[in-house]
């Protein structure tokens, strides 16, 4: 009987940086630097001409140092031409597939390297920013899941893929960046009001929000971005406890901490707290024109007058240059694509001289990535309902396509860039969210286009009505005869800079579904959403199938059609919980109005729920969701067919605490990542076709605040009628709680329960055991 495995299915992160080598090279380089050069190696050069990067560390020609280019891009290299738009983080999380997580990271790394970008400002593990404390958070779509375990795995695999291409990965936003509202200082009624403060207790910080960062550091991430918000009253980038204490000392982070753009609030305070690089560099908006900087020459003065020790400046430079040298970026690394500056200027609506347009051909770095994007889109699509075997479709002769999310983009390839409102986004498919995490399309296949192409193979009819206002008003005069099957495409827009205000899909979505399903007894709803939605029509008899297709990238139409017609199975599983009603989630976005809004002291986000977010909250409060975390159907059926086998690794006695004599390594405390137990079971495909499922392992831990937590998952493909072994590895950290008194991870005494199944609420195989 085979055992499921893949090259990147291992629980143990694969280090991607030889820190010792990088630090040695950096130290040799530092000896050649003047103090002024050191200060400009840690300070962004926003006015440096011709780079075309969102962040720049300027070259030092006398030492043949060509500079460092930092570029945005969780979904693709933003503000560039001839690049791919990949599935968003929320889609990646929904795949529950380590191999695809790695392959996406690798493909992104190839494109960033090809364009000459040194640093990929990429990964929101949903813990860095945000984890998903608020289901309506405006940037939740950029991260992977509100579960720290799933986010940590996705983050590590992505970093491995990116950095194996020689590109520096970045983990952001550190830490507690859980809403967009008042995320940074604003001026309200003439009064400067500080960013909100995420007030997080020590245990919650470790067990929830810090967890994925530990995975990132274990994987060798080159840099971490400190966020705009405050943490327990102190601005993130000058918070010595979280930056120097937790990140660098406790987790053993060896790379550099870079500010979010203009998040630096001070010089000496931030530097001494652990911030290593200031971006984009200017002291204020006028500095983009004049070159006036907050650090730079001021940091040189602080070093010379003793406010900042030169040893700390050397440490900052060492941290910045270590991954640069360790990843080989000093030898043969591609130069920045000269068209990047033009693309950036065009995207920000700045005048671009016509003589320059087209004078230089943009580097096409897309390669064969469209096929990976198409595969991942299907793998991240979750089949929530499939009554009477509606899907896959069997060559219907008359298909109806409805909804404003089905057709081509109406405002061009950049119509899904940064925006604070829904204006301009009503018509056209939605494959990515907005803000710095978005990307400019070079091509995109809409669902309507892909459906027309597919049905032409059997001369099928495709009728369509894409105006949601007409649909909501029950105007179907152009649709006749009544289609055999009706496909309704809905979407939920979200963007950096603003939080969502509603759980329902946008643009009168409920009325659209109700109108179509009243006429069509076989209505299939496909949602392209940036986060959690309520689905008030989900239990309607006429709504026979529901697909949560998330934000799957530029191959959106093809990936959806592949699932609809059975070319690929919808193997996605929910990386979050879908509620029955809005009030099932009870953590509001902090949004003050009136006199309080101008009081910085009032902007306090109190994390009183502790670790109880998403499914943990539903379990602890005994709330029945509409669709639970980890849920997803397929085109075949599975069942677990054996008892749970638990085997202790090694013969030594397990201690409650990690070995206090072992020093923290460059990738963290090694004891925490050692396997204590192996766990196995079997799963059988009881259907009539080959299919894939995700077997999930949950642990109930003594002294834990949560009824159960995810501690393992494996995606397996099994032939009809066959069984396969599924194995999990439990590490010390997986079975520990954070002991505030001892400031250490501790394995508690008492009875543990391990439960295995196909979702967080379908766990038929369980077993109790003790660790100590």
CA gap 40, 58 in Å, rounded: 7
Q: Are residues 334 and 396 in the same domain?
A: no
Q: From the CB of residue 290, how many other CB atoms can be counted at a distance below 10 Å?
A: 11
Residue 679 structure tokens: 């766990």
Question: Is there a contact between 79 and 138 (Cβ–Cβ < 8 Å)?
Answer: no
Q: Are residues 289 and 154 in the same domain?
A: yes
Tens-digit pLDDT profile for residues 675-727: 999 999 999 999 999 999 999 999 999 999 999 999 999 999 999 999 999 99
The phi, psi pair for 753, rounded to 5°, reads -125, 125
CA distances from 624 to 398, 502, 523, 578 (A): 38, 20, 25, 10
Q: Is residue 600 part of a domain?
A: no
In this predicted structure, what is the pLDDT of residue 6?
46
The phi, psi pair for 399, rounded to 5°, reads -110, 135
Prior bond of 626 cis (ω within 30°): no
Q: Are residues 546 and 414 in the same domain?
A: yes
Among the listed residues 323, 322, 275, the one whose alpha carbon sits nearest the alpha carbon of residue 299: 275
Tens-digit pLDDT profile for residues 529-560: 999 999 999 999 999 999 999 999 999 999 99
In this predicted structure, what is the pLDDT of residue 595?
86
pLDDT above 90 for 760 = yes
The phi, psi pair for 63, rounded to 5°, reads -110, 15
> Tokens 């813990």 identify what position?
127
In this predicted structure, what is the pLDDT of residue 410?
75
Degrees, nearest 5: CA angle 161-166-169? 60
Tens-digit pLDDT profile for residues 216-238: 999 999 999 999 999 999 999 99
Domain span at 515: 381-568
CA gap 553, 524 in Å, rounded: 21
Q: Are residues 59 and 147 in the same domain?
A: yes
Q: Is residue 601 part of a domain?
A: no
In this predicted structure, what is the pLDDT of residue 190?
83
Question: Is there a contact between 149 and 157 (Cβ–Cβ < 8 Å)?
Answer: no
DSSP-derived 3-state class of residue 646: strand
Tens-digit pLDDT profile for residues 653-683: 999 999 887 877 888 899 999 999 999 999 9
CA gap 189, 186 in Å, rounded: 10
Q: Say how many domains are in the chain.
A: 3
CA gap 343, 554 in Å, rounded: 19
CA distances from 486 to 430, 511, 517, 533 (A): 19, 15, 8, 21
Confidence of residue 354 (pLDDT cuts 50, 70, 90): very low
CA gap 130, 180 in Å, rounded: 9
In this predicted structure, what is the pLDDT of residue 5?
42
Q: Are residues 140 and 280 in the same domain?
A: yes
Q: Is residue 695 part of a domain?
A: yes
Question: Is there a contact between 528 and 490 (Cβ–Cβ < 8 Å)?
Answer: yes
Whole-prediction pTM value?
A: 0.95
Q: Are residues 329 and 395 in the same domain?
A: no
For residues 596 and 527, the model is more confident at: 527
In this predicted structure, what is the pLDDT of residue 127?
39
CA distances from 300 to 66, 117, 343, 436 (A): 22, 28, 34, 31
> For the domain that residue 662 is a member of, what is the CATH number?
2.60.40.10
Query: What's the average model confidence in pLDDT over 509-528?
Result: 97
CA gap 381, 550 in Å, rounded: 7
Q: Is residue 64 part of a domain?
A: yes
Q: Active-site residue among 260, 619, 667, 734?
A: 260
In this predicted structure, what is the pLDDT of residue 518?
96
Tell me which of 568, 586, 619 is where a domain ends.
Answer: 568
Confidence of residue 1 (pLDDT cuts 50, 70, 90): very low
In this predicted structure, what is the pLDDT of residue 358?
57
Q: Are residues 61 and 166 in the same domain?
A: yes
Q: Are residues 239 and 90 in the same domain?
A: yes
Q: Are residues 441 and 488 in the same domain?
A: yes
Say which DSSP state 243 is in: I
CA gap 366, 363 in Å, rounded: 9
pLDDT above 80 for 355 = no
Q: Are residues 25 and 163 in the same domain?
A: yes
Say which DSSP state 575 is in: S
Tell me which of 568, 597, 619 is where a domain ends.
Answer: 568
Q: Are residues 470 and 325 in the same domain?
A: no
In this predicted structure, what is the pLDDT of residue 4?
42
> For the domain that residue 155 is a member of, what is the CATH number?
3.20.20.300
Q: Is residue 612 part of a domain?
A: no
Q: Are residues 297 and 434 in the same domain?
A: no
DSSP-derived 3-state class of residue 679: strand
Confidence of residue 130 (pLDDT cuts 50, 70, 90): confident
Tens-digit pLDDT profile for residues 462-492: 999 999 999 999 999 899 999 999 999 999 9
Q: Is residue 481 part of a domain?
A: yes
Degrees, nearest 5: CA angle 14-320-59? 125
CA gap 74, 679 in Å, rounded: 34
> For the domain that residue 493 is a member of, what is the CATH number?
3.40.50.1700
DSSP-derived 3-state class of residue 100: helix
Among the listed residues 632, 508, 504, the one whose alpha carbon sits nearest the alpha carbon of residue 579: 504
Whether 286 sits among the annotated catalytic residues: the reply is: no
Query: What's the average model confidence in pLDDT over 422-428?
Result: 72
Tens-digit pLDDT profile for residues 259-310: 999 999 999 999 999 999 999 998 776 677 677 889 999 999 999 999 999 9
Tens-digit pLDDT profile for residues 85-128: 999 999 999 999 999 999 999 999 999 999 999 999 965 443 34
Q: Is residue 490 part of a domain?
A: yes
Mean pLDDT, rounded, of the chain: 92
Q: From the CB of residue 458, how many other CB atoms can be counted at a distance below 10 Å?
A: 9
Q: Which residues contact 375 (CB under 8 A, 6 or more apart)?
A: 100, 559, 568
Q: Is residue 594 part of a domain?
A: no
Give the containing element (helix H, strand E) for 612: none
In this predicted structure, what is the pLDDT of residue 79?
85
Tens-digit pLDDT profile for residues 63-74: 999 999 999 888
């Amino acid at each position: 009987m085979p055992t499921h495995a893949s090259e990147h299915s291992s629980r143990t992160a694969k280090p991607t940086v030889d820190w010792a080598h990088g630090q040695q090279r950096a130290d040799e380089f530092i000896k050649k630097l003047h103090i002024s050069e050191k200060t400009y190696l840690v300070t962004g050069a926003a006015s440096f001409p011709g780079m075309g990067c969102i962040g720049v560390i300027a070259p030092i020609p006398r030492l043949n140092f060509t500079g460092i280019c930092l570029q945005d891009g969780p979904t693709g290299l933003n503000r560039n031409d001839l690049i791919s738009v990949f599935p968003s983080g929320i889609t990646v999380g929904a795949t529950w597939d380590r191999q695809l997580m790695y392959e996406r990271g690798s493909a992104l790394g190839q494109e960033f390297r090809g364009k000459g970008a040194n640093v990929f400002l990429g990964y929101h593990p949903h813990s860095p920013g945000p984890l998903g404390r608020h289901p309506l958070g405006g940037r939740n779509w950029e991260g992977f899941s509100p579960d720290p375990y799933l986010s940590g795995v996705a983050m590590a695999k992505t970093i491995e893929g990116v950095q194996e291409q020689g590109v520096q990965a970045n983990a952001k936003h550190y830490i507690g960046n859980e809403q967009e509202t008042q995320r940074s200082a604003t001026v309200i009624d003439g009064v400067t009001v500080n960013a909100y403060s995420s007030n997080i207790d020590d245990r919650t910080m470790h067990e929830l929000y810090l967890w994925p960062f530990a995975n990132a550091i274990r994987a060798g991430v080159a840099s971490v971005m400190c966020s705009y918000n405050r943490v327990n009253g102190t601005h993130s980038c000058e918070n010595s406890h979280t930056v120097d204490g937790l990140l660098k000392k406790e987790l053993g982070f060896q790379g550099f901490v870079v500010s979010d753009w203009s998040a630096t609030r001070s010089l000496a305070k931030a530097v001494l707290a652990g911030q290593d690089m200031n971006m984009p560099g200017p002291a204020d908006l006028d500095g983009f024109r004049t070159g006036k900087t907050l650090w730079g020459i001021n940091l040189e003065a602080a070093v010379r007058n003793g406010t900042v020790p030169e040893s700390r400046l050397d440490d900052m430079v060492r941290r910045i240059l270590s991954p640069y040298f360790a990843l080989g970026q000093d030898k043969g690394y591609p130069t920045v694509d000269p068209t990047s500056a033009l693309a950036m200027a065009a995207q920000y609506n700045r005048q671009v001289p016509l003589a320059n347009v087209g004078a230089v051909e943009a580097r096409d770095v897309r390669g064969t990535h469209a096929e990976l994007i198409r595969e991942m889109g299907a793998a991240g699509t979750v089949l929530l309902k499939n009554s009477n075997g509606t899907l896959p479709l069997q060559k219907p002769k008359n298909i109806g396509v409805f909804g404003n999310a089905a057709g081509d983009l109406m405002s061009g390839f950049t119509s899904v860039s940064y925006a604070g409102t829904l204006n301009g986004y009503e018509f056209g498919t939605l494959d990515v969210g907005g803000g710095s995490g978005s990307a400019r399309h070079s091509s995109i296949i809409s669902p309507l286009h892909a459906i027309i192409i597919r049905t032409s193979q059997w001369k099928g009819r495709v009728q369509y009505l894409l105006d949601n206002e007409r649909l909501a008003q029950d105007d179907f005069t152009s649709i006749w005869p009544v289609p055999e099957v009706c496909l309704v495409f809905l979407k939920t827009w979200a963007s950096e800079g603003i939080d969502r205000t509603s759980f329902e899909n946008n643009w009168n979505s409920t009325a659209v579904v109700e109108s179509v399903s009243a006429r069509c007894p076989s209505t299939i709803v496909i949602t392209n959403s940036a986060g959690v939605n309520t689905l008030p029509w989900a239990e309607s008899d006429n709504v026979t199938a529901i697909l949560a297709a998330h934000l799957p990238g530029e191959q959106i139409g093809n990936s959806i059609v592949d699932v609809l017609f059975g070319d690929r199975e919808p193997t996605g599983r929910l990386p979050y919980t879908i509620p029955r009603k809005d009030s099932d989630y009870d953590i509001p976005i902090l949004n003050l109005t009136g006199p309080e809004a101008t009081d910085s002291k009032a902007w306090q986000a109190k994390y009183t729920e502790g670790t109880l977010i998403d499914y943990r909250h539903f379990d602890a409060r005994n709330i029945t969701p509409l669709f639970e975390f980890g849920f997803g159907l397929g085109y075949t059926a599975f069942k677990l067919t054996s008892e749970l086998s638990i085997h202790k690794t090694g013969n030594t006695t397990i201690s409650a605490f990690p070995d206090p004599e072992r020093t923290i390594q460059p990738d963290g405390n090694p004891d925490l990542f050692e396997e204590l137990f192996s766990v196995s079971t079997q799963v059988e495909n009881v259907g009539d076709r080959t299919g894939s499922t995700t077997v999930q392992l949950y642990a109930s831990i003594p002294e834990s605040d949560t009824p159960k937590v995810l501690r393992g998952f494996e995606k397996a493909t099994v032939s009809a009628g066959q069984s396969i072994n599924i194995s999990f590895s439990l590490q010390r950290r997986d079975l520990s709680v954070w002991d505030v008194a001892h400031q250490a991870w501790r394995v508690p005494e008492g009875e543990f329960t391990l439960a295995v199944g196909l979702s967080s609420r379908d766990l038929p195989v369980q077993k109790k055991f003790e660790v100590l």
